[in-house]
Structure 1
């Protein structure tokens, strides 16, 4: 598995000079996306909508609004 490119601004460009807050989004060579975020599975699993589910190997990861909105222009439409 390889990373093809970063989606959106780097953590440094978003103001993370210390490396303490580094959410990030990457497009993989197979077209999938990888996300670095805060694991909030325990907090959010019980409040997921009824039609949402999480497999045992999946985690609910939170990224900042800024991370996603600054990535919007780089996310392909298809």
Structure 2
């Protein structure tokens, strides 16, 4: 990832469009200017790390975050194929 990458656009519906009353503290998905994706989710590293498949690993700088199914499904149409 480019350390200078910036948020280019949101993928899917905003938290308010998904029913958040305050529009804050909700999962979100963003496409960055370098083509990477940024996820705002709940940190579940401690809970899920032990259940990762044997061929999966996490670097010390990485966290396992969880987003709702609705967040990902509503972003699906905005995710590019290539």
TM range (shorter): over 0.9
Divergent runs of 4+, >2 A: 18-21
Match of 2:37 among 28, 33, 37: 33
1:17 pairs with 2:34: no
Matches within 5 A, 1:49-68: 49-68=53-72
Match of 2:48? 44
Tell me the matched-pair count. 78
Please list every run of 5 or more consecutive structure 1 residues that lacks an aligned counterpart in the other structure: none
Deviations 1:14-72 (A, max 9, x none): 00112464100000000000000000000000000000000000000000000000000
Consecutive unaligned residues of structure 2, counting only runs of 5 or more, are none
TM-score under structure 2 length normalisation? 0.91
Q: Distance in 2 between matches of 1:25 and 1:8?
A: 7
